[in-house]
Structure 1
Amino acid sequence: MYFAALLARTEDGWEASDMELDEVETLSDLADLAREAALDDDTVVAFIEQEDAWFGVIRVDGEDDPRVFLSNAAAASRSSYGAMLIDELLGRDDDDADDLDSLNLDGTEDGEPETDNDPDDDTIEAVNGSENHATVGPLGDTALLTDLGVGEKELLALDGDALATIADSLGCTEVLEAVR
């Protein structure tokens, strides 16, 4: 089960709204939802959390490209929304998925034997079903909340109810809890 919310910064503080993910298929869709919640070109922070397995923070500042952080890429890869964000972070699109079906990331094409079948390799499984080598753990922009009071080290150390900790640092715990 997911929890998703938008926090829009205003002159009077932060305003929260819950976010419907039904129509979200890409990071662009998510950024559009965030921009709709913004007043003028103010900052909007979107939170996605899946039952303490992983959380994602997406920051949208006006028309700038969204900035994304995922707490645990391996756990997020097993989720449709997490996998979508991983694909965006790694620069994959639908055309890349077709290419990845015929070419493994280790450089071998389908039908060629792989020379290294190390079972200890950390891998994540992408939406298209191919295995892609990636770092297990955090992925993305660890500095996306630094100017808002959540430093890189603090963001990387979060676990448990991370979104409440972030909201506390932003000064909007009550606003976030109202939509939770």
Structure 2
Amino acid sequence: MYFAALLARTEDGWEASDTELDDVETLSNFTDLAREATVDDDTVLLLIEQEDGWFGVVRVDGEEDPRIYVSDAAAASRSSYGEILLTDELLGREPGDPDVPDLDSLDLDGTEDGEGEDSDNDNDDEVPGTPGEAVPHGPVGDREVLSDLGVGEKELLALHAGDALNTIAEALGAAEVLETVR
């Protein structure tokens, strides 16, 4: 089960909106959702979590490239929305490397809830269908994504899925507005 919300910074503080992810298939779709939530190209955060498995933050500031943080790449790689966030750049891979299959091409059906076909590979740190190509177990991305907003690298790394989004919202002064869309 996923929860996703947009927090858009305005002159009057933060505004939250629940967001539907049904039509999201690419990182560009996430970025477009964020840009649609602001009028003045202010900061917009897309906060997403999958139950107690992982959480992610996508930050969009105007027309700049999105900044991304994912709390647990291995867990996110096994979820449909998480794998969208795990770009080659975020994972430190060369785009188009023929030895590394694109995560978008992997069949992730049934793996979101831990239900998948049994495989001979017992290493949970490997992306299904990528023999020998491990996805890091733990955080990846921009650890300073929220530093100027009051959540430094140390605090971000200490957060755990399940309570992370509430903690982030509290630090931003947006806990009440986030709660309205939860």
TM over 0.5: yes
**Identical columns (%):** 66
Q: Give 1:149's aligned residue.
A: 150
Is 1:81–2:81 an aligned residue pair?
yes
Is 1:175–2:177 an aligned residue pair?
yes
Is 1:62–2:62 an aligned residue pair?
yes
Instruction: Using the TM superposition, give the Cα deviation of residue 122 of structure 1 relative to its aligned residue in structure 2, in angstroms.
Output: 7.1
Tell me, in whole angstroms, the C-alpha distance in 2 between the residues paired with 1:28 and 1:8: 18
Write out per-residue CA displacement over residues 16-37 of structure 1, whole angstroms, 9 at most, x where no aligned residue: 0011111111111100010000
Q: Which residue identity is paired with 1:147?
A: D
Listed as ranges, the matches of 1:22-101 within 5 Å are 22-88=22-88, 89-90=90-91, 96=96, 100-101=100-101
Instruction: Determine helix, strand or coil for the equivalent of 2:9.
Output: strand
Instruction: Determine helix, strand or coil for the equivalent of 1:48.
Output: strand
On the 8 A contact 1:8/1:39 being kept in 2, the answer is no
Instruction: Using the TM superposition, give the Cα deviation of residue 52 of structure 1 relative to its aligned residue in structure 2, in angstroms.
Output: 1.4
Under a length normalisation based on structure 2, what TM-score does the superposition of the two structures give? 0.80
Largest Rg, 1 or 2: 1
Tell me, in whole angstroms, the C-alpha distance in 1 between the residues paired with 2:92 and 2:32: 19
Once the two structures are overlaid, the 10-residue window that deviates more, 79-88 or 137-146, is: 79-88
**Aligned in 2, Cα 1:90/1:164: closer, same or farther, shift over 3 Å?**
same
Q: Which residue identity is paired with 2:176?
A: E
On the 8 A contact 1:123/1:134 being kept in 2, the answer is yes
Under a length normalisation based on structure 1, what TM-score does the superposition of the two structures give? 0.81
Tell me, in whole angstroms, the C-alpha distance in 2 between the residues paired with 1:4 and 1:100: 29
Instruction: Determine helix, strand or coil for the equivalent of 2:87.
Output: helix
Instruction: Using the TM superposition, give the Cα deviation of residue 11 of structure 1 relative to its aligned residue in structure 2, in angstroms.
Output: 0.1
Write out per-residue CA displacement over residues 97-121 of structure 1, whole angstroms, 9 at most, x where no aligned residue: 87635xxxxxxxxxxxxxxxxx897
Q: CA RMSD in A?
A: 2.3
Q: Give 1:5's aligned residue.
A: 5
Q: Give 2:166's aligned residue.
A: 164
On the 8 A contact 2:9/2:42 being kept in 1, the answer is yes
Is 1:138–2:139 an aligned residue pair?
yes
Instruction: Using the TM superposition, give the Cα deviation of residue 130 of structure 1 relative to its aligned residue in structure 2, in angstroms.
Output: 1.7
Q: Which residue identity is paired with 1:146?
A: S
Tell me, in whole angstroms, the C-alpha distance in 1 between the residues paired with 2:42 and 2:7: 11
Paired residue total:
160
On the 8 A contact 2:77/2:135 being kept in 1, the answer is no
Q: Which runs of 5+ in 1 are unaligned?
A: 102-118
